[in-house]
């Protein structure tokens, strides 16, 4: 099926002209990974009835997994092999189709916080997927004054799917098991120790992080009781503020795990805009908000353990991948994230 025909079928209208440009977003990693065949475009479609529409079109395929592993491993065959065997734990598993299933099946009460999807196309034989969604052209950058409102919205997702294990299959979520973490220790150790860690962490932290990796399956077992739908890529680049409306974008890495993962990921991106007391206040606000919404009490020591697990898991999982990829991407925000998480560990006495 030709691309024009796919788009025509999605909108169910004939058109006479289709214009498109690569979405050039300076902090976008997806198009950089897919540089030989960019996957995100801005389209303007001119219909035969003299109307037109501008939308974002996202192409996905299994190639993004292959390209990502090539980029991250940087010609290290051992690391590439380990990443290939453990790509689920690093967030790749079914990422190329997850958004389609997520948008189709997510509960209606949450759709006001999602960008409108015009339609999707799937070709399972070619592993080719296309999503057409509204373009939020005039969104404002989010600022510290918006952070609590953003946390209020993401905890609505956490509340709705809290301890609903059936949502894993329905939404095609990533879900890491104790066995997954046990199998990926070698990959995590290899990846983390390939990095220039002395530039960011003192020796005590490096020792603590390595010890955490060696025991990650046991650490995970202690926080398994507290899980829900998470965005799993919860950063300002995936949050749009359009006047008073906040939209959360790009759910392709959505996961079933501790809700605190979203909190930690968000903080890692914005920490340099906050002082220590503001960081502590946001963590406290998130905890109170979440526990009130889910109707659960978690004592202080247990909650501290949950926060610590999610900070360290982020260091050795997502952030390690980004740092390794950054050898070729040269994105300043990844360096800042590493500085931020070291500071977050200091604030939390980890």
**If you search the block for the tokens 């965005």, which residue do you land on?**
231
Q: Lowest mean pLDDT: which of 8-12, 21-25, 87-91, 270-274?
A: 21-25
Share of the chain above pLDDT 90, in %: 73
Mean pLDDT for the chain?
Answer: 92
Rounded CA gap, 153 and 248, in Å? 9
pLDDT score of 38 more than 70: no
Q: What confidence score (pLDDT) does residue 282 get?
A: 98
Q: What confidence score (pLDDT) does residue 131 get?
A: 93
How far from 19 is each of 44, 52, 57, 106, CA to CA, in Å?
Answer: 5, 11, 12, 31
Q: What confidence score (pLDDT) does residue 1 get?
A: 42
- What mean pLDDT do residues 72-96 have? 88
265-284 in b/e form (b: 16+ CB < 10 A) is bbbbbbbeebeeeebeebbe
- What mean pLDDT do residues 67-89 have? 88
Q: Lowest mean pLDDT: which of 99-108, 123-132, 333-342?
A: 123-132
pLDDT score of 27 more than 70: no
Domains of the chain: 76-114+141-347 (3.90.1200.10)
More confident residue, 125 or 117: 117
Rounded CA gap, 16 and 251, in Å? 32
pLDDT score of 31 more than 60: no
Share of the chain above pLDDT 70, in %: 95
pLDDT score of 194 more than 70: yes
Instruction: Determine the longest span between alpha carbons in the chain, in angstroms.
Output: 67
Rounded CA gap, 350 and 342, in Å? 9
Split at pLDDT 50, 70, 90, the class of 29 is: low
More confident residue, 37 or 318: 318
Q: What confidence score (pLDDT) does residue 318 get?
A: 95
Q: Which helix (H) or strand (E) holds 135?
A: none
- What mean pLDDT do residues 147-154 have? 98
The total of other beta-carbon atoms located within 10 Å of residue 205's CB is: 18
Residue 320's contacts (CB-CB under 8 Å, 6 or more residues apart) are: 188, 191, 192, 195
- What mean pLDDT do residues 212-224 have? 98
Rounded CA gap, 211 and 215, in Å? 6
């Amino acid at each position: 099926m030709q691309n024009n025909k796919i788009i025509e079928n999605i909108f169910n209208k004939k058109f006479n002209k289709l214009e498109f440009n690569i979405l050039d977003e300076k902090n976008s990693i997806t198009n950089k990974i897919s540089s030989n065949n960019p996957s995100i475009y801005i389209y303007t479609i001119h219909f035969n009835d003299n109307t037109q529409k501008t939308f974002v079109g996202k192409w996905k395929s299994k190639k993004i997994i292959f390209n990502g592993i090539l980029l991250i491993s940087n010609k290290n065959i051992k690391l590439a092999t380990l990443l290939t065997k453990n790509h689920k734990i690093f967030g790749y598993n079914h990422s190329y189709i997850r958004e389609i299933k997520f948008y189709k099946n997510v509960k209606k009460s949450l759709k006001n916080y999602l960008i409108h999807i015009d339609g999707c196309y799937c070709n399972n034989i070619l592993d080719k997927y296309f999503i057409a969604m509204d373009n939020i052209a005039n969104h404002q950058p989010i600022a510290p004054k918006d952070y609590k409102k953003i946390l209020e919205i993401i905890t609505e997702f956490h509340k709705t799917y809290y301890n609903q294990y059936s949502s894993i299959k329905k939404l095609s979520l990533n879900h890491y098991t104790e066995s997954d973490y046990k199998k990926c220790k070698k990959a995590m150790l290899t990846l983390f120790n390939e990095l220039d860690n002395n530039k960011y962490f003192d020796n005590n932290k490096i020792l603590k992080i390595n010890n955490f990796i060696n025991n990650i399956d046991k650490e995970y077992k202690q926080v398994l009781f507290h899980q829900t739908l998470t965005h799993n890529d919860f950063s300002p680049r995936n949050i749009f503020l359009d006047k008073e409306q906040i939209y959360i974008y790009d759910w392709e890495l959505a996961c079933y795990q501790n809700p605190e993962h979203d909190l930690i990921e968000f903080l890692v991106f914005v920490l340099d805009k906050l002082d220590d007391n503001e960081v502590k206040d946001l963590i406290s606000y998130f905890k109170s908000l979440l526990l009130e919404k889910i109707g659960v009490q978690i004592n202080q020591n247990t909650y501290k353990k949950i926060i610590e697990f999610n900070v360290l898991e982020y260091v050795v999982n997502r952030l390690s991948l980004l740092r390794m990829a950054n050898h070729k991407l040269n994105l300043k925000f990844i360096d800042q994230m590493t500085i931020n998480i070291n500071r977050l560990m200091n604030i939390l006495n980890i």
